Amino acid sequence: MAAADPAAPAFALDERIAADSHPVESLTLCELRLMDDAQYPWLVLVPRIAGARELIDLDPALRVQLGAETDQAARLLRRLVAPDKLNVASLGNVVEQLHVHVVARFVADAAWPAPVWGRLPMQPYARDARDSMVSRLRALLDA
């Protein structure tokens, strides 16, 4: 990536994403975070690009990198929980900061077959369960 432009605004994680998720890892382009909803193993990727909003507005190299990190997150969830289906989406109707959801879905989960967004109130993890989930994700990333 080019050197940072001192005149450009700095990236800052959207405060709603920050409140609803926990850090897992800083990847090359994205912050990889675990959504704090114990109903579904659910990751969110946030490219560290100030002002980014739509996938198609990314520079081509960054667009490819975001695709690669999205796939990395999907493979991570598959290895972790072997879901029945992966849901991958860039919506941004509520939070404008560009972010990509990767959700592990099961035929028996609370919202199946509907998408997870706006369906049911989030059910935050118990502290131990969340820490365990984050640890397992990090261990798989480092493997």
Contacts to a copy of itself by CB under 8 A = 54-56, 63-64, 67, 70-71, 74-75, 78, 85-94, 105, 112-115, 117-118
Q: Which is nearer to a copy of itself, 22 or 120 (CB)?
A: 120
Q: By the 8 A CB rule, do 143 and 137 touch?
A: no
Min dist CB 80 to a copy of itself, Å, is 14
Min dist CB 1 to a copy of itself, Å, is 20
CA dihedral 56, 25, 17, 53 (to 10 degrees): -10
The set of residues, in sequence order, having a beta carbon less than 8 Å from that of 71 and lying 6+ positions away, is none
Q: Which is nearer to a copy of itself, 10 or 94 (CB)?
A: 94
Q: Which is nearer to a copy of itself, 33 or 101 (CB)?
A: 101
Min dist CB 4 to a copy of itself, Å, is 26
| Amino acid found at 65 | Q
Can you tell me the distance from the alpha carbon of 80 to that of 97, in angstroms, rounded to the nearest whole number? 27
